[in-house]
Homo-oligomer: A and B are copies of this chain.
Amino acid sequence: MYAISKKSKYALRALAELARRYNQGPVLIAELSARQHIPKKFLELILLELRNQGILGSKKGKGGGYFLARTPSGISLGEIIRALDGPLAPVPCVSQTAYRTCEECNDEATCGIREVMQDVRDATTKILDQESLADMLRREELLEQKRNRVPVYAI
């Protein structure tokens, strides 16, 4: 089913990098592309979209580049994914941000599928809307520490 597109995944990685370097000035597309192994031209489109959505800011000319428009704790993963992949809901009829009726549903009010899908939506938005870029970086730090405590004894 694979709900997250490559686009969003690339975006998350690029934004994580920008969050790590928050307040250290603009970062070049070329640099992000190289460090995160993201096709440069594709990344351009992604960053542009994120800028239009108010998540990123940019600066042109020499010394320019992209930077977070807000603090890393003020940007949620849910917001990022919604910006690029649209609504988080598994089916249109349970979307909060882009509701659309199922044309063939005999009666939406008593549809069991819908109720279950609503639960799924609630569960995923709860996670993704709570989790900020800052939270995600914190997770990475913890994972890093954990790995260092459990070294792999191999040559």
Contact = CB atoms under 8 A, between A and B. Distances in A.
Interface of A: 1-5, 9, 12-13, 16, 36-38, 77, 81, 85-92, 102, 104, 109-113, 115-117, 119-120, 123-124, 126-128, 131, 136-137, 139-140, 143-144, 147
B139 A116 contact: yes
11 contacts: A1-B3, A1-B4, A1-B5, A1-B85, A9-B113, A13-B113, A110-B147, A111-B143, A120-B124, A123-B123, A123-B124
Nearest to A12: B113
Given A81-B1, A92-B2, A147-B110, A116 B123 contact: no
B127 A120 contact: yes
- How many copies of this chain? 2
Given A116-B77, A116-B127, A127-B120, A110 B140 contact: yes
9 residue pairs, one from A and one from B, having the closest CB atoms: A123-B123, A112-B136, A3-B3, A37-B104, A112-B140, A110-B143, A3-B90, A112-B139, A1-B85
B110 A136 contact: no
B139 A115 contact: yes
Nearest to A81: B1
Nearest to A16: B112
Contact of A109 (B77, B115, B127, B147): B147
Contacts of A126: 123
A2 B91 contact: yes
Given A112-B137, A147-B109, A90 B4 contact: yes
